Structure 1
């Protein structure tokens, strides 16, 4: 059997000693993606809170060792996998497609294998991946992209969603021009006109739409296929107690995000330079991302569904998924409570709607209004939210899509009047609803607000 350490030592002697430790010093190198904000509980937010370092300091007091943590920031999961294969990153957080690639490539080596040990955030319908186009684009549905240039990071979840969505629309990969680009490059290309569309993961679609630089063409929730991010660890990393402390710290960060959503959003915004309104879209109560650590069965099933696509484009050869997934670390952290984990979002929107004076009880209707100079207030339903917006200076307002539940910006949504006001994330979804419901009408956001008297 090939041994990764032997291969590396044969060509790069320095790599053999890069992580050398004295008996009393333990190193931990963490690869994360600061702007992929559904990994923040294992990356950006966790780092800013210092929870891991605090836990390792306490561990050091018990065992007499010194623990040193190094954080390395990347824009995608691919370079994290490359560094893990080289033995230079011990823990990495990444999306579902990169996780599959990580597991496949590392299983080729005896001492280079990795384990999938926890989730960070997920969306059961796939809304974390979207396709956006320039605001003035003539494209109004996916079929309008035939023959066009689409930027995507090949092998990413955003790329997978784009290809699956195009196929469902009757468009094969030969009918479009996929540009394999990093998210930032694709975003610049979209703004300059170098590409006609961008298929990416969070937070790029939300950031571009919020900034008025794009509009949403396709919401990944239409696929109804879970998309998620998680944590992988080098199997050969010799300090299991450090990994369990990492997961405890990740759970601490997840609890903080649930209990202090606005403060968490501000911390992530400060660290990433993303607008706080965009971070809160995904990470706030009832947000697009459900943050929870357990490796739930629908998430693992989604990996089995995703793997054939990655094989078809040559990104993975083979993968023993059962050997890759290892929830033993989480079971050690959670104990018997691990089996009681739920698919429900542990941080729904709650409270009393101050405008309509009713309790917020239905997560399928609940929204939030962020009034400038004030705190975020809950809305029981879209009509109550529209009333709350009237006459106010608003930083952002968030509503769930009437069909999929995808949380989106109220002023970027497409609105339908059908006795009540219904928001949709995409124009095509709103038009489909109107076509199926005689008497309903597509109206502007301004009209919806005006009619909310």
Structure 2
């Protein structure tokens, strides 16, 4: 996917001729007024929407530029921000280790590769903040084509599966297959593909399943192009996205890093305070449906946004290292040396947000700028009758992963209703609860009382 480079200028002096380059290479460049210009290059993934507080949403709000403008008034420098958009974390790492990107955001597995490559190429990086996380691993999903005969991971034996090797979604696939009794190296044919290529391959029937990270599974399900086969939250292992910075840049320009982290916190506050507006904004910038963005980033979304480097996330990062070592993608990673909590404590001394709470069913009506939550799936079903629905969301009865209500698998159990992300999970529940049965979504709405 071609990268997009957008420069946002601050202040007016930036419209004057400059001799600049990416990162600290710009230090010392001066305009006619004699003011030194510092160019800061930020790599982000617009469609990996759990990084929006360090990427798409942050860029659209202009908070980083505002923070740098304020800093410029104090230090006499002129700051220029260059935003570079990529499909995955790998090219961001390549640019960082070449000294061409200063700050980047990516998922947990790519972060470890970022750390390893940085050390190997003598351009070390640091993990300084988190963007979005899910403590059970619900940000990654394995999907199949609608109407596929596949019903469980065990059915993938001998099949072709598309994923992005080295991504968190690949890590989910490897771990999930092992739990299902399959050898990821022998029992499936794995195709290493970009998410968009894998989505096309699934639609064309050239692969049997696709394992990908946010927002691809939700997008394909929303479009009716995929059905969930495996909910990553079944692993019950945290997954997250985070912010990495070149160590040399962080040491030379700590004030710029502080400004970025303050801006990220402001963007996080905005997303949490106005999740519908934030989803609409990200949708406008990325072309993704707002309903899909909200599935992950909404008030009850699959992701929780908090810059804090929580201990449980760092512990999960350490558990990811052996998976990447086995795949030959890294030799080893010193996670403790990679994680640097000092910049966030310095820049954003405020306490962390509370942990995520259990998601509730949620309804988004057309023409509404807010959503309504419910205490039970049955209450949501009743509210759906005759409503002009833009999107309805329901948490999985076991994992808590939010999913589109019309794409979930519904189970009637006496007078109670339960929803599941996958057919396999619903059937496991039914097999253990006499009298319960799987019910089609339309029938569930009709029968709910």
**In structure 2, C-alpha distance between the alignment counterparts of 1:343 and 1:425, rounded to whole Å:** 26
- Within the candidate set 231, 237, 244, 1:225 is matched to 237
Mind listing any 5+ residue stretches in structure 1 that lack a counterpart? 1-13, 349-362
Partner of 1:213: 225
1:235-289 alpha-carbon deviations (Å, 9 max, x no partner): 0011100000000000000000011111100010011100000000001101100
**In structure 1, C-alpha distance between the alignment counterparts of 2:39 and 2:282, rounded to whole Å:** 25
1:438 equivalent to 2:434? Answer yes
Q: Secondary structure at the match of 1:412?
A: coil
Partner of 2:422: 426
**In structure 1, C-alpha distance between the alignment counterparts of 2:156 and 2:403, rounded to whole Å:** 23
Partner of 1:394: 389
Q: How does 1:143-162 map to 2 (within 5 A)?
A: 143-162=154-173
1:451 equivalent to 2:442? Answer no
Q: Secondary structure at the match of 1:30?
A: strand
1:284 equivalent to 2:278? Answer no
Mind listing any 5+ residue stretches in structure 2 that lack a counterpart? 1-20, 31-35
How far 1:22 moved relative to its partner?
A: 2.1
2:129–2:309 Cα contact (<8 Å) kept: yes
1:21–1:27 Cα contact (<8 Å) kept: no
Q: Secondary structure at the match of 1:58?
A: helix
How far 1:343 moved relative to its partner?
A: 5.3
- Within the candidate set 51, 65, 71, 1:39 is matched to 51
Partner of 1:81: 93
Partner of 1:367: 361
How far 1:443 moved relative to its partner?
A: 1.0
Partner of 1:57: 69
> Normalized against structure 1, the TM-score is what?
0.90
1:74-96 alpha-carbon deviations (Å, 9 max, x no partner): 00000000001100000000000
- Within the candidate set 25, 29, 32, 1:22 is matched to 29
How far 1:19 moved relative to its partner?
A: 4.1
- Within the candidate set 368, 375, 379, 1:380 is matched to 375
**In structure 1, C-alpha distance between the alignment counterparts of 2:23 and 2:420, rounded to whole Å:** 54
Partner of 1:253: 267
Partner of 2:286: 272
**In structure 1, C-alpha distance between the alignment counterparts of 2:223 and 2:353, rounded to whole Å:** 35
Q: Secondary structure at the match of 1:411?
A: coil
Partner of 1:332: 346
**In structure 1, C-alpha distance between the alignment counterparts of 2:353 and 2:262, rounded to whole Å:** 19
Q: Secondary structure at the match of 1:274?
A: coil
**In structure 1, C-alpha distance between the alignment counterparts of 2:56 and 2:23, rounded to whole Å:** 29
> Normalized against structure 2, the TM-score is what?
0.91
Partner of 1:353: none
**In structure 1, C-alpha distance between the alignment counterparts of 2:275 and 2:229, rounded to whole Å:** 28
Partner of 1:134: 145
